[in-house]
Chain A
Amino acid sequence: MSAILKINGTKKTFDEGLPPTLSELLNNLEIDAAMVVAEIDGEIIERKSFAQTELKEGMAIELIRFVGGG
């Protein structure tokens, strides 16, 4: 069953169903959790809670990825 998330303002369809948690979404997108700040529906999700954060159809997810240099 396909499902949709809005990621950084763009709708993304998951044909095989949603990844169950935020951690699994990041794995799916090949994003290193240590370098991302995540917000779901405007609420910041701390990194230690990524594995327990369940995803639901229609959620708006902002993923702010950091690269090194300063």
Chain B
Amino acid sequence: MTPYTFYELKNAVVGIAGLGGLGSNVAVALTRLRIGKLILTDFDVVEESNLNRQNYFHNQIGQHKVDSSLENLSRIDPEADLEGHKVRLTPEKIMRIFKNCQVIAECFDRADQKQMLVETVLSKMKKTVVVSVSGLAGYGRSNEIRTRRISDRLILVGDMVSGTGPGVPLTAPRVGIAAYHQANAIAEVLILGTRASRPQAIR
């Protein structure tokens, strides 16, 4: 594929928790970067309503998202090292499945699930960095989506306030912006380490 491969990415292992609007797109970007290995997890199947923002195709409706993602990513790079788990993540499963990951991408939809994953990684997986997303619903306001380094092991993407709800849909462009922020933050932390940027408070 690409003639240029980042040395630091070649042996990296990245976990992706959830293969919806964030995870399916983060996985595409990381595959194109030729990341060493991706560990993909989701419990759900592709539905027609997912196609407005998630990286799946009409003929994949009804298929498991893990199988569909493995298929799509292999079409980008047949040599990509991919591992899929059809599972609903719990703290115990996060610790087991993502044990060898340097970085975990939090790509869940529900706020309480985001909380569960970030708390688990920060409290139980002391060598792992988590890149999480909060606030990406709606359209426009591209520049309000930011990447903040909260601490050595937590990077937070989003505008921090735009939750999804009645009248506030999730859209391909804004979810895509957040997903590519997330993938870019993962590349940066793997290549340069967390010292590349200074911690920032959330305000």
Contact = CB atoms under 8 A, between A and B. Distances in A.
Interface string B1-38: 00000000000000000101111000000000000000
Interface in A22-70: 34-37, 39, 42, 44, 46-47, 62-70
B91 to A, nearest CB: 10
A35 B202 CA distance: 15
A34 B201 CA distance: 21
B54 to A, nearest CB: 10
B170 interface: yes
Contact of B108 (A8, A44, A64, A70): A70
Contacts of A47: 115, 119
Nearest to A33: B115
Contact of B133 (A9, A42, A63, A70): A70
Contact of B161 (A37, A64, A67): A67
| Contact residues on B (Cβ < 8 Å of other chain), bracket | 35 or more
Majority SS at the chain A contact face: mixed
Given A9-B203, A62-B202, A68 B119 contact: no
Contacts, number: 91
A35 B115 contact: yes
B107 interface: yes
A39 B202 CA distance: 12
A39 B112 contact: no
Contact of A68 (B18, B163, B203): B163
Contacts of A46: 119, 123
Contact of B18 (A8, A10, A39, A70): A70
Given A34-B115, A46-B123, A69-B170, A62 B164 contact: no
A64 B162 contact: no
Interface of B: 18, 20-23, 107-112, 114-115, 118-119, 122-123, 132-137, 150-151, 154, 156, 158, 160-165, 170, 175, 201-203
5 contacts: A9-B201, A36-B115, A42-B151, A64-B154, A68-B109
Interface of A: 8-10, 34-37, 39, 42, 44, 46-47, 62-70
In the A-B complex, list the 3 residue pairs whose CB atoms are closest, starting with the nearest: A9-B201, A67-B163, A69-B164
